[in-house]
Amino acid sequence: MNPAPTALTLISSMATRHLLTALAQAHLRAGGPATHIESVGGVDAAKRVQGGETFDVVVLADDAIARLDAAGRLLPGSVRPIADSSVAIAVRTGAALPDVGSEAALRAAVLQARAIGYSTGPSGTALLQLFERWGVMAALKDRLVQARPGVPVGRLVADGEVEIGFQQLSELLDLDGITLLGGMPPEVDIVSRFSGAVVAGAAQPAAGLALLDFMASPVNDGLKRQHGMRAVSPAH
């Protein structure tokens, strides 16, 4: 009797934890090895891989993966795009629902908000760049609240710490105490891509690459939609 394969180790940011768990379970059902997933703040995850901590696979926002690749911390040629994720908007359950259906309406809603929650990572950076483009950063700077690493913006919304919150839809789904207003207006949509790669020095590089190929496969597009993400778009 052959021994059971050793479980793969994977580190990711918080935004993808539910999707990656579902994908890993599907991979196991398809005959792959088990995968132990550790999800932390994206900045912390990148630092740990950069610092030489050993994992088989890392899944992070595209820009963080690119930096790790450039630094030689990833197995060359192993980067695989996994999913795209759009930013959504939330307010506290029971609060008045502002109009966010157009760029002008969203700008007005932001300017009227007592406090605005946003995340660490690329989606938060892109939101601040949008506020800069609108010319409202000076008016908003004392009302901007960045969620602590590993804390969903929806928690700040539910607790009343902020009046309106912006984060990837996958992070806001199924949180108690918030009402989702939907996504950003199309003209200012913020999309983050999450990619995975085999970590340099991984104990099981071939198995790690097989896991990434499975996660990137179109057969899992439905799972990605269920978890607030979608298959990667060639236009991104």
Question: What's the pLDDT score for residue 235?
Answer: 58
**pLDDT tens digits for 163-198?**
999 998 988 988 999 999 999 999 999 999 999 999
Q: Say if residue 4's pLDDT is above 80.
A: no
Question: What's the pLDDT score for residue 108?
Answer: 97
HSE value, Cβ hemisphere, 13 Å, CA-based, for 171: 33
**pLDDT tens digits for 25-40?**
999 999 999 999 999 9
DSSP secondary structure of the chain: -PPPPPPEEEEEEGGGHHHHHHHHHHHHHTTPPPEEEEEE-HHHHHHHHHTT---SEEEEEHHHHHHHHHTT-B-TT--EEEEEEEEEEEEETTS-----SSHHHHHHHHHH-S-EEE-SSHHHHHHHHHHHHHT-HHHHTTTEEEPPTT--HHHHHHTTS-SEEEEEHHHHTT-TTEEEEEE--GGG--EEEEEEEEBTT-S-HHHHHHHHHHHHSGGGHHHHHHTT-BPPPTT-
Architecture of the domain whose range is 85-188: 3-Layer(aba) Sandwich (3.40)
Calculate mean pLDDT across residues 48-77.
97
Percentage above 70 pLDDT, the chain? 97
| pTM of the predicted model as reported, rounded to 2 decimal places | 0.85
Same fold, 8-84+194-226 and 85-188: yes
Residue spans per domain, the chain: 8-84+194-226, 85-188
Calculate mean pLDDT across residues 45-56.
97
**pLDDT tens digits for 81-134?**
999 999 999 999 999 999 999 999 999 999 999 999 999 878 899 999 999 999
CATH of domain 8-84+194-226: 3.40.190.10
